[in-house]
Amino acid sequence: MTRKILSILAVILCEAIIIAAFIIYRGATPTDVLILDIVLCSIILGLVSVDLFMPWNDKHTSNLGSMGVRWTITSIYALATIAIMIWLHDSPFKLQILVQGALLIFLLLGLAAMLRTREQVVRVHEAEGQKLAHRDDVKKVWRDLLEKMNMQSDIPAEVREKTEKLVQEMRYLSPTNNPEALETDQKLAEGAQAIGRMVGDYRMNNDLIEQKLSQCERMLQRRRTQYSN
């Protein structure tokens, strides 16, 4: 809160200095031109203040993707506005309004492009996050199964070893949005859950467990050949 208050006070002080400087050194500048120059400098101050004191704060790193666009647009607009302000200082007010209005349109279009860039980065970030989460869910189900097997003394060593091998091989699964791969991931997770329900009574279900493990081994081999497209 203190940082926010100090930032607001800094912006207000800068605005006051800008207004005072224009009034003190206005010379023979007409009132309408003076007001236009103050408004334009206030817009530039606002853009810089937003970039410095109020950056986007969300769970994504999306601001990184549009930061270059944002600073480029702000810098070009600020430099062009100040240059035109000086160059056309003695020109008719209507001409200054037209030129500065065109620059303002450029600024708005640039901000629209910036927001579009940000939205695209957010979508990519969310899509990648979903792929990683889905893959990690499959790995977790199999790690839980292995842990459950290790807690039971009646599980043969070869069954544990086969399960541990599956868990180790799943470390190399790539995130994907391939529909077939996603379906295989779902079947692998369901396979681990089915085995987990059967290991509580291994003697009754040993054949089904080994059959299911072999089936999952084949599915895992197929899954490792299915990539994002």
pLDDT digits (tens, 9 = 90+) for 162-216: 888 888 888 877 777 777 878 888 888 888 888 888 888 888 888 888 888 888 8
Q: Which residues of the chain have pLDDT under 70?
A: 1, 51, 53-69, 124-134, 226-229
Residue 12: predicted pLDDT: 84
pLDDT for residue 101: 92
Q: d(Cα 104, Cα 93) in Å, to the nearest integer? A: 16
**Alpha-carbon distance 165 to 144, whole Å?**
14
**Amino acid at residue number 122:** V
Cα–chain-centroid distance for residue 18? 36
Q: What percent helix, strand, coil does the chain show, rounded to 5?
A: 85, 0, 15
Q: How buried is 70 (Cβ within 10 angstroms: 0-12 exposed, 13-18 middle, 19+ buried)?
A: buried
- The C-alpha atoms of residue 40 and residue 44 are separated, in whole angstroms, by 6
Can you give the pLDDT at residue 62? 47
pTM for the predicted model, two decimal places: 0.55
pLDDT per position as a tens digit, 154-168: 888 888 888 888 888
